[in-house]
Amino acid sequence: MDYYYDDYYDEYSEQSDLEAARLLHRELSIEETITNCVSPSLRFAAQYMINFVAINLLFSIVVLYLRKIFPNSERSLHLLSCLFGAALLYRVIDHGFYHFLQLAISLYVVQWTLHRWLSGSGRYIKTPFIVIAYGIGNLLVSELLEPSPETWNRIRGTQMILLMKALSLAFDTEEHQNLRNQLNVLSYTGYILCPANVVLGPWISFNDYLSIWKPSFAIGHSTGFAGLLIHVSRILISALAAVGCLLTSNCVIDYMLAPIASWKWVRAYGRALSFRTSHYFIAYLSQCSMIAAAVDWSPVSSPLAVEFPRSLVQVVTAWNIPMHVWLKRYIFRSTKRPFGTAAAIALTYIISSLLHGLHYRLWLTLLTIGSWTFVEHEVRKKLATIYSACVLVGKCPSSCIVHQHRSKSVFCIVVNTLFFVLNIFNLIYLGCIFETTEGPPEEADHDKSMFGRWTELNYASHWMLVFAYLFYFII
């Protein structure tokens, strides 16, 4: 769900950074910006978002009325979910639907076969890990065989959400026999095609999906007109936040940075911030879909926590909260006991990378983030121990009794500020290699395009990572 589809800037995608800088350096008036950027972006947002809001709102209304008629029939929920989810996929994804279909069907067949023939056999490799291996293998092979990179980029996020749902089912049904008994072709299809998150996410568990049929999750948490008004206002707030992030990504950043865009670090900052705000657009839009469908929801992303990070661990957690929960629950905890903490962390980052497909830039970015989070955690832990100070990765309570120097002391303020600046620097460096409209079709052909922007910045973050690791040993 880290991608959105906007062809407006495709004409600039093949220009060099210096050419792009010269374009940005040209003073644009407010009128030009509105005409050439804001208006097309608003048209795109309206055309794209109306499908999610309208279909999910209609879905929630129909569920509300059918639940009154058939209060104990979850079959109605599954049928409605299949119907509205398929309609949303048809409206939004114009190509590549066969990839979604074959992955969904084959994953169900694999799980059904494993549960029927191998369940409870005492084997060393558990069913969920077999499903993980098959699902990721299927995903990567499908991407390699797809002749059109553009088509795959349009369904990349959808395929990832589908795989996350199927894998969570594999783990949950392995542990809970009652849940396995509820799972059949209809309930599986309804869960996979749930219109609230079939295209953009976020991931929700099978039990959360079933909760849609419970009266406590009606439209709004109040009845009558007041409940409907609250429900619509929540949809509008999320939709406006999504549009604001889209306009910031497409228009505001370029307009604001145009006078100083000749400096390479300013260009890097602009690209990184544009990438992050495009992610927030998707996060708020997916949140809007969840609210419209009357699904119990929590924030998908926390932009303030990402933009003002105490640590990179906070960035990783707040970037995509449901995916962080999924990785922690099903990958980290499942591998920590047999393989240890270090191996579990490594496997978590590997699985997270592979879920995004053959996205080499993302692989390198996640590898760098994983290295930085480990080094930052260890350095701050060591500093906190040596100086008895509240400088850990996580914030200490205001009445901390463990450390002598609390968070408001001069020493703690200085150290935490230095790490804050370091993390802002890493956000710029790590995000600048992404484009808001990009996918990885050229990455395999042009190593220069993959490393060019880090080369332009002299691999500064990677050199600082080496120095930070040496500093950890010195102190």
Per-residue pLDDT at 290: 93
Rounded mean pLDDT, 72-81: 87
DSSP letters for 3-43: -----TTGGGTTS-HHHHHHHHHSPPPHHHHIIIIIHHHHH
Catalytic center residues: 356
Check residue 215 and give its pLDDT: 62
pTM: 0.87
- What's the confidence (pLDDT) of residue 236? 93
Percentage with pLDDT > 90 across the chain: 45
Cis, bond preceding 338 (omega within 30 deg of 0) = no
Residue 9, pLDDT > 70, answer: no
pLDDT for 123 equals 54
Whether residue 281 is predicted with pLDDT greater than 90 in this model: the reply is yes
Report which DSSP code applies to 309: -
DSSP 366-397: HHHHHHHHHHHHHHHHHHHHHHTBS-SSSPPP
The Cα–Cα gap between 371 and 382 comes to 17
For the ranges 147-156, 187-196, 207-216, 428-437, the one whose mean pLDDT is highest: 187-196
pLDDT over 70, % of the chain: 86
Residue found under tokens 């505001």: 252
Give the pLDDT score at 198.
94
Per-residue pLDDT band at 216 (split at 50, 70, 90)? low
Averaged pLDDT for residues 327-345: 87
Q: How far apart are alpha carbons 94 and 179 in whole angstroms?
A: 34
Report whether pLDDT(400) > 60: yes
Q: What is the pLDDT of residues 250-278, one digit of tens each?
A: 889 988 887 777 788 898 999 999 999 99
| Section 62-88 average pLDDT | 88
Residue 72 confidence (pLDDT): 76
The answer to whether 272 and 427 are in contact (CB under 8 A) is yes
User: Residue 180's pLDDT band (boundaries 50, 70, 90)?
Assistant: confident
Q: 350 with 375: CB under 8 angstroms?
A: no
Average pLDDT over residues 200-224: 74
For residue 85, pLDDT over 60 is answered with yes
The three state secondary structure string of 198-236 is: CCCCCCCCHHHHHHHHCHHHCCCCCCHHHHHHHHHHHHH
Domain boundaries of the chain, sorted by first residue = 73-215, 226-436+450-474
Q: How many CA atoms lie within 13 Å of 429's alpha carbon, on the beta-carbon side?
A: 25
Lowest mean pLDDT among 66-70, 122-126, 331-335, 420-424: 122-126
pLDDT at 121 over 70: no
Lowest average pLDDT, out of 95-99, 152-156, 161-165, 312-316, goes to 95-99
Check pLDDT > 60 for residue 1: no
Q: Which residues of 350-382 are buried (b: 16+ CB within 10 A; e: fewer)?
A: bbbbbbbbbbebbbbbbebbbbbbbbbbebbee
